[in-house]
Amino acid sequence: MRTWDAIHAAASELARKNGIKQTTAELIAERAGVSPRTFFNYFSAKEDAIIGLRTPMMSEEVLESVREREDGNLLAYAAHILMRVLRDSLSHHSWTLDGEVFREHPELRQRMKIHMLRCEHELQDFLLAMDWGVYESTGRLVRREGEEGAPDEHQTERVRATVLMAAAVLRHIRFGAELSTAELDSAIGDTVTLFAHIVKEAR
């Protein structure tokens, strides 16, 4: 963690001082006091180091923090998980970074898009590993043991659609804004309700 922090701090400092194009992985490594090889053990690209991107992970802490959200609304539950996976994979500076910075620097915006896709894949893998027999009967998501309860084709498509909609929920609430967890939770709930109303609207 200390090495990750040192590389990220060096990358942010050099980018602010010299600009993103003039900031290279080699310069970042030198400033952080590590080898280029060590740099790439922690970050895939200089943009990731500048933003402060960690590998997204579905940790037990994430699941525990949203456990009370298991209320039968799969989209709300998925959106809460995705938000926390995303937050945990970004440095605090990145989380509160003004969107204008990303608009001005397409290379950073592209890396954030790639990172968001990784978070979505983490969520999708998690949902596909659930026991869908238990979910259909109880509304609770628990990991399955063996192949019993594996998602069928319909449920797999449902998971894929849910992940896409969860990402849309976060985009709608502007997840990069500096909001508290309680405010984000409330915004997610409001947005899921809005989406449900839109889907049910008569044509």
DSSP state of 151: -
Domain tally, the chain: 2
User: Do residue 64 and residue 81 come from a single domain?
Assistant: yes
Q: In terms of domains, do 40 and 67 share one?
A: no
Whether 7 and 98 map to the same domain: the answer is no
Give the C-alpha separation, 154 to 61, whole Å: 30
Other Cβ atoms within 10 Å of 200 Cβ, number: 7
The pLDDT of residue 195 is above 80: yes
Structure confidence at residue 91 as a pLDDT band (50, 70, 90): confident
**Nearest to 176, CA basis, from 24, 52, 7:** 52
| Same-domain pairing of 26 and 112 | no
Domain identity same for 42 and 79: no
The pair phi, psi for residue 149, each rounded to 5°, is: 90, 5
- Asked if residue 179 and residue 94 are part of one domain, the reply reads yes
pTM: 0.86
Residue 7, classified by CB atoms within 10 Å of its CB into exposed (0-12), middle (13-18) or buried (19+), is buried
**70 and 32 share one domain:** no
Q: Which amino acid is at 4?
A: W
* Residue-range definition of the domain harbouring residue 37: 2-51
- The DSSP 8-state label assigned to residue 100 in this structure reads H
Q: Quick one: 79 and 128 in the same domain?
A: yes
Q: Are residues 103 and 195 in the same domain?
A: yes
Spatial contact of 91 and 52, defined as CB atoms under 8 Å apart? yes
Q: Are residues 46 and 81 in the same domain?
A: no
120 with 51: CB under 8 angstroms?
no
Q: Which residues contact 176 (CB under 8 A, 6 or more apart)?
A: 95, 96, 97, 99
* 21 and 82 share one domain: no
Same domain, 154 and 194: yes
- What digits encode the pLDDT tens for the residues 49-72? 999 999 999 888 887 777 766 566
Average pLDDT, the chain: 86
| pLDDT tens digits, one per residue of 35-52 | 999 999 999 999 999 999
Confidence of residue 178 (pLDDT cuts 50, 70, 90): low
- Spatial distance between the Cα atoms of 80 and 77, rounded to a whole number of angstroms: 5
CA distance 171 to 26: 34
Q: What is the CATH number of the domain that holds 24?
A: 1.10.10.60
